[in-house]
Amino acid sequence: MAEKVKLSKDGSSIDFVQSDNLPTSLKKFRQSPEIEGFYRFIFENDLQKEAYEILDRIILQRKAKKADAKKEAQAAAKEEKAAAKAATKGKKK
């Protein structure tokens, strides 16, 4: 069984085993020592609710950012279409 996550004496830092290479797949990422240690730390310290709230907030922020980027792209496409339409009208006269 893997070792417990090591907490500093004052509780301000966590020691994880770090690997030199990045996992190439999602399954390998979940099984990496850093992530396993993180999950273990959350479970052992009964922080599931807090971790869920943090991850939920991050997901909502990313969704909002993605929606804003999509709106900006649509507005830019609309402006480009209007400019192209105006340019074709100008050439006809």
Q: What is the predicted pLDDT for the residue at 74?
A: 94
Q: How confident is the model at residue 93 (pLDDT cuts 50, 70, 90)?
A: low
Residue 56 placed within a domain: yes
Instruction: Name the pLDDT band for 49 (thresholds 50, 70, 90).
Output: very high
Q: Is residue 69 part of a domain?
A: yes
Q: What is the pLDDT of residue 92?
A: 61
For residues 3 and 45, the model is more confident at: 45
Structural domain total, the chain: 1
Domain that holds residue 39: 6-15+25-92
Q: What is the 3-state secondary structure (H, E, C) of the chain?
A: CCCCCEECCCCCCEECCCCCCCCCCHHHHHCCHHHHHHHHHHHHCCCHHHHHHHHHHHHHHHHHHHHHHHHHHHHHHHHHHHHHHHHHHHHHC
The residue ranking higher by pLDDT, 55 or 35, is 55
**pLDDT over threshold 60, residue 2:** no
**Assigned domain for 1 exists:** no
